[in-house]
Structure 1
């Protein structure tokens, strides 16, 4: 059986260190490919590129994961920058928005993780809250909190019970993008998962499944990418 090819977007950093080297790098925390592999897929890294190439790239994939990372530039959703919003990552924003839109047009199964969920919302005309408290343990430290599924959603079919999830974010969905529905919430009401209803697999989760042991969300993507 041929395993489905799952593209995962990457960071683009001006400086990274390994061995004796300190160079610019396109990189990805190892938890992402490991999660794809544990779910039965093959991971392919997709560093930022010319957005005009997005449709041809997505056409070669069986599924797409848009990874976590820096804050989405507020101008992308018509807002003014607030003081606690991080510096822009314009190349990633442009590339990943193009990937998301190409996947939505082609029907390629799509999973957005943290920033990826926020970009899915922005791609469909939604907006973001630029700062919330209580969803980050400390700088560089993942926290955990419970997430409750919304009955009748795709996410609830995959994970029907309340679960504790690894979390690290200070921005969140505000107004939902066109066609999206919330499919999970935190106890403070924060939207923790969004999805497009219907047969297409387009799901976003606000937490970081690559930092935990639960592979069900990624397995659902891989299954959809396999035609299941």
Structure 2
């Protein structure tokens, strides 16, 4: 019995898998199962290398329908997306998108229809990669601009104040252990280790937030 599987990927806490499922259902899809990767970058990680992406290849069978919000869910770049869609079509899986309602079916045998289908796959994959690269460049530019103005680029807010920092530095210099220092100052071991690794950076962080 064939099934319809939604594959979703979210790379940040701001994105929501339930929202992607709701969008698919609003577009008329009846979803039998959801396979999702959390906290995975679509730009740097191939679908076959993602934890749930691997399971997707094993789960899909001939006659199944794979639903994705857009083709960029299926790979990290143009080559990966096109290879992935064609691999699923060879398995007899139909790939459908929520956005624009596109359908990619390997059962097509007419040469003209195949040519149009393959050209469309290539165009959509190239568009997805271009959008991803543009987003990365915009993020880099935004970070660079913010760093040029320290008041805008504060970084992570320190979990300690000036008095606590001084106490930690003194205790570190006296040879006390990380766990003991963290316990006495109400801090995490990670915070103490960061101070130990770079006291100057810890002081700079306090000054940025002061």
Question: Normalising by structure 2, what TM-score?
Answer: 0.30
Q: Which structure has the larger Rg?
A: 2
Higher helix share: 2
- Relative contact order (C-alpha < 8 Å, sep 6+): which is higher? 1
TM-score by length of 1: 0.29
